[in-house]
Amino acid sequence: ENRDIKSLLSSDSAIGNQVTVRGWVRSRRDSKAGISFIHLYDGSCFDPIQAVVPDTLSNYQQDVLKITTGCAVEISGVLSESAGKGQSCEIQASAVTVMGWVDDPDTYPIAKKRHTFEYLRQVAHLRPRTNAFGAISRVRTTLSSAIHRYFHERGYHWVNTPIITASDCEGAGEMFRVSTLDLANLPRATDGSVDFEEDFFGREAFLTVSGQLNAEAYALALSKVYTFGPTFRAENSNTSRHLAEFWMVEPEVAFADLNDNAALAEDFLKYIFRAVLEERPDDMAFFAQRVDKGAIERLESVVQSDFEYMDYADAIDILRNSGESFVFPVEWGLDLQSEHEQYLAEKHVGRPVILMNYPASIKAFYMRMNDDGETVAAMDVLAPGIGEIIGGSQREERLDVLDRRIAELGIQGDMGWYRDLRRYGTVPHSGFGMGFERVVNYVTGMENIRDAIPFPRTPKHAPF
């Protein structure tokens, strides 16, 4: 019976059975009594399983005693209750087969001792073998499946929006250009450099910064949709919160206003946080022990309490009267910096804050103008310790107002199709974008966003 370690450790129904497990060795310890203990993990859960290997195995001297951390092995034997502390069961091994040796144990980059996260970023291809990155990977899986489950249970359709696009949704000019490159006929300049077309088959194209505009088209037909895919930003910023490539979840709902949107964001976040607490207690215990003491309590309290709803204008007052000395100025009309978001969410409220109704001048062209003519129906969800994890808005559904905004902001490109959505059966609609990696960090307490995604792309990390 081939089993994953999770299924063996999580129920005692298999005790007494002959089982086979496959995975990678975390450690080997030999006792004087001629028994070796091998800890094996396969990624299915946090804990490795212990195999008790007697020296009576025919390949004990030849193989077992040479097994080192990182070797891939298959172990068969009878599952039995464990006498050891902290283990529910163990395997009394009757066969151990080494499937993949570690070439040179002395230079294996992920030896059993602890490593800094900074070091592990340099061996991103091997770091999933560590406790921390196994746990982060499983939390990503749980969050992803909870995200899809949340929307599917509520009748949303998953829309796969394009990655190659001509429109700069956020209007921030932070797009990577897409160009055609004929690999077979690379025209080389005399200096050897490659000459290529700076366009997509004759037209300008970019990697998308957001699937929102396309999601709007589908929301105005299917009523409730969401995207969940990669997005790209050519921000040359080296912060612990920015990636050049990150994943975004973007629900878009017809007949919904800003309050509906905020309520959706709150309900959605609580649902996916609850999923992590329920499905990944082993990994969360690790984060609480090694990364961020309060990780579990924080998440539990967020799930149980109401988010704080606050107007941008009130937030400005609070910040101005805080007595804090911020690096960046605080004034109505200025965008909030990370330090301001941190103050509001962490110090002032101590829970997630949904900040609403920002000045139009600091927000994107598609946000719905409020009656005051100065603010837009925008919202950001600010999380303690992280800052902005969600950005969203009610969309401008009135063609004349939208046209004015497009002209004012000098939005380039073909807006014809987007305007059509306002010409043919327009309705109020709203949506938001949740940065997946920021949420991974919020949940786990990990500090650097480069550790929230398997292979981070930043100005300083060369792709591989």
Positions touching ligand 4AD (CB under 6 A) are 169-170, 210, 212, 233, 235, 242-243, 246, 248, 250, 388-393, 431-433, 435, 437-438, 449
**How far apart are alpha carbons 253 and 223 in whole angstroms?**
6
- Closer to ligand 4AD by Cβ: residue 75 or 243: 243
Binder of residue 389, out of Mg ion, ligand 4AD, none (CB less than 5 to 8 A by kind): ligand 4AD
Tell me how far, at minimum, the Cβ of 345 lies from ligand 4AD, in Å: 13
- Closer to Mg ion by Cβ: residue 391 or 431: 391
Tell me how far, at minimum, the Cβ of 445 lies from ligand 4AD, in Å: 17
Tell me how far, at minimum, the Cβ of 305 lies from ligand 4AD, in Å: 21
Tell me how far, at minimum, the Cβ of 250 lies from ligand 4AD, in Å: 4
Tell me how far, at minimum, the Cβ of 80 lies from Mg ion, in Å: 54
- Closer to Mg ion by Cβ: residue 10 or 338: 338
- Closer to ligand 4AD by Cβ: residue 132 or 389: 389
HSE-up of 301 (CA within 13 Å, CB side)? 11
The single residue listed with the structure tokens 């089982």 is 19
Site for Mg ion in 387-416 (CB under 5 A): 391
Q: Would you give the DSSP letter of residue 65?
A: G
Tell me how far, at minimum, the Cβ of 159 lies from ligand 4AD, in Å: 12
Binder of residue 250, out of ligand 4AD, Mg ion, none (CB less than 5 to 8 A by kind): ligand 4AD
Q: What angle do CA 248, 252, 254 make, to 5 degrees?
A: 180
SS3 (DSSP) at 268: helix
**How far apart are alpha carbons 437 and 144 in whole angstroms?**
11
DSSP string, 274-326: HHHHHH-HHHHHHHHHHT-TTHHHHHHHHHHSPPEEEEHHHHHHHHHTS----
Q: For residue 381, list its beta bridge partners.
A: 354, 390
Binding segment (CB under 5 A) for Mg ion, from list 104-112, 329-337, 356-364, 384-392: 384-392
Binder of residue 428, out of Mg ion, ligand 4AD, none (CB less than 5 to 8 A by kind): none
**How far apart are alpha carbons 229 and 159 in whole angstroms?**
10
**How far apart are alpha carbons 327 and 319 in whole angstroms?**
12
Positions that interact with Mg ion (CB under 5 A): 391
